[in-house]
Structure 1
Amino acid sequence: MTTAIMALSNVRDLYQQVILEHYKKPRHKGKTNPVHRQQRGHNPSCGDTIELTLKLNDAGDTIEDVKFEGEGCAIAMASADLMADVLRGKQVTEALSMVQRFQNMMKGEDEFPKELRK
């Protein structure tokens, strides 16, 4: 087996390990207390449903906590948990910018930021 194929296999194994870890033991499952913002998303093509809740600081400009509830595949649930990790502590404007950038990446209009690749 060549080094490149072994490296790809290792990355795939790590990816699967991270997804399964966040799916089986999500760190941010539930609802924030209090709920300052709430959003529900549903993918009709596969049935995944996620409800996201946010707790903001007193000024309302920083995300103090993010939690989610929902049903879906391992990738959807793990992605929600990983997203909560990234958004906690971010200013609302920065979080909205990240959402816009992610949407652009999904359309092929932007690249994944190097600082978040880990």
Structure 2
Amino acid sequence: MAQMGYIGPMIGQHHQFHHYHPGKSKFGEDRYFKITKTIYENLNDHLSNHDYLAGDYSIADIATFPWIARHNIHDIGLHHYPHLCTWYELISQRPAVVKGYDLFQKGNKIPPIRS
């Protein structure tokens, strides 16, 4: 439920203000950048003691992964969050995730972690 009630909506707002409509609202850009950074921090902290978000691999990971997979447009630096990076790499290597990321067979690849 965290993904539907917090992670998705807040990172979605960050996408709107920071990536799709930059310069339209400094307040919106700053607010949702900070919230997205906090989400990264919270996930990283949780994943310091867990391999997955809710015990075993589950819908929590499946629903959250697509938001983190857009890390390249968040401008936060996924590489600063080592436990979140480990989780991201673990999920990225699952055959069904790789296949799903390129569902329409257009050559889409899961974005690598940049430093």
Task: From the two aligned structures, give the one with the greater helix fraction.
Answer: 2
TM-score greater than 0.5 by the shorter chain:
no
Q: Larger relative contact order (C-alpha < 8 A, sep ≥ 6)?
A: 2
TM-score band by shorter chain is 0.3 to 0.5
Task: From the two aligned structures, give the one with the greater strand fraction.
Answer: 1
What TM-score does the superposition give when structure 2 sets the normalisation length? 0.33
